[in-house]
Structure 1
Amino acid sequence: MAHTAHRIQDTAEEWRINASATPFTGNKTSVRTDEVVMPDGSVVTRDYQVHPGSVAVLALDDDMHVLVINQYRHPVRQRLWEIPAGLLDVPGENPLHAAQRELYEEAHVKAEDWRVLTDVYTTPGGCDEAVRIFLARGVSDVEGDRFAVEHEELDMQLARVPLPELVRGVLAGELHNNSLAVGVLAVAAALAGEGLDALRPADAPWPARPFEA
C-alpha cells in the first residue's frame, strides 16, 4: 500500500439525482428516497434518514471528571451512558447556543470555556445527521429551578466519571453511545497531543450545518 504525505481531508461532492421522494415524515426526522446516477451511468436507489443535526457537550470539570447521563434508549433496548446532547430544532440555529441550552436542561450546569472538540456524521451510509461535539470547561451549577423534563428524561441519572475510566469503558466495549465514545477519545487524543487549548474556537465554521454567528 502506497503511503502519501498529502493531507487527508473529506471533500464536498454531490452526484446527480434523477428523482427524489419522501415516503415518510416524522416528528423530527423523515426518510428520503433518491435515484442517484453512478459514475458508470447506472441509476441506483438510496434510502436515508433526513436529520436536522445535533449538538453534544463533553463537560470536563477541574478534577478531569466528565459529566455523563444515563437514560433508556428504546431503539437499542438499553440504558446508555451518554454526554448531554440534543437536536438543532431551529434551522440555522447557532450550535453553541443549542449546546449551552442542552447542558443546562439535561445537567443543570453552565460552563465558562467552550471549544469545538470534533464534528462527525453519525451514520453517513444511511442518515445525514451531523453532530458537533463541544468541550465545555469551567463547569458550575446553575442557580434556580431545574428545567422540567419529560418522557425518557424523567428517569435520567447524572454522574461525574473520571476521563480514564470512560476511555477504558469505550475500549472495553462497555460504553456504546456515539458522542460519548468519540468525545472522550478525542479529549484523550488532544491531551496527548497539542492540548485542549489548541482546539478550535466554539464559533468555528461548520459546513455541514451552516449557522448565524
Structure 2
Amino acid sequence: MPDGTVAARDYLVHPGSVAVVALDDEDRVTVIRQYRHPVRRELWEVPAGLLDVPGENPLHAAQRELYEEAHVKAEDWRVLTDLYPSPGGTDEAVRVFLARGLSDAEGDRYAVGEEEAHMLHARVPVAELVRAGLAGELQNTFLVLGVLALTVARAGDGLDALRPADAPWPARPFD
C-alpha cells in the first residue's frame, strides 16, 4: 500500500485496450452491436480491442480495430481520453481515440467469427448517443464516455486542441 503496509488483493492483469469514436462528416458516430456473454446481452459499442502485443502502438491497434470491426479508415486521429475502467479489479488501461475524415476501407472485409459474427453496424448522430447514454439506454463505458468526452471537447477548446494520437501514455508505454 502507499504507506508501506502489505495487503492481499486479487485483480485481473490486463494488456490494455483501445477504443475509437469514429465521427463522420454528418456528425454521426460509427457503432456496432455485439453480444457480450458476461452480461448476457447485445450492447451498442464503439470499435475497440486489446493491445495484443506488448509495447504495441495504441494508434496502430485503434486503426486495426476500426478496420476489422467497421471496415472503415480515418485520416485524422486524436486522443479523446485515457482511463482505467475498473481500477478496483483490473489494471486495464484504455485509450479512447477520436477518428475523423472517415472513408470505407479498401479490400476485403476482415473475416469475423464467434462473438463478432453477428455484429450490426450503424452510424448514429452524436446528439442521439448522448441522449441515450444519459437515459441509461447505452451501457458500454467507451461509447458513453467517448461521446460525452467528444461533446465536452467541442464545447471547450475544440477537437483540434485534443492531444495528438501519438501523445505519451504512461499507463501503457509504447514504441
CA distance in 2, matches of 1:177, 1:168: 14
Q: How many percent identity over aligned positions?
A: 74
| Residue identity opposite 1:105 in structure 2 | E
Measure how far apart 1:116 and its partner are.
0.5
List, as ranges, runs of 4+ consecutive aligned residues in structure 1 with deviation greater than 2 Å: 38-41
Counterpart of 1:94 in structure 2 is 57
3-state SS in 1 of match to 2:79: strand
Q: Deviations over 1:79-107 (max 9, x none)?
A: 10000000000000000000000000000
How many residues align? The count is: 175
Aligned counterpart, 2:47: 84
Q: TM-score, normalised by structure 1?
A: 0.80
Question: What does residue range 1-213 of structure 1 map to in structure 2 within 5 Å?
Answer: 15=1, 39=3, 41=5, 43-212=6-175
In structure 1, runs of 5+ residues without a counterpart are 1-14, 16-37
In structure 2, distance between residues paired with 1:166 and 1:144: 30
Q: CA deviation at 1:40?
A: 7.7
Unaligned 5+ segments in structure 2 are none
Q: TM-score, normalised by structure 2?
A: 0.97
Distance 1:68 1:40 in 2: 45
Q: CA RMSD of the aligned region, Å? A: 1.0
Structure whose CA Rg is larger: 1
Shift of 1:50: 0.3
Indicate the structure with greater strand content. Answer: 1
SS in 2 for 1:166: helix
d(CA) in 2 for partners of 1:101 and 1:197?
23
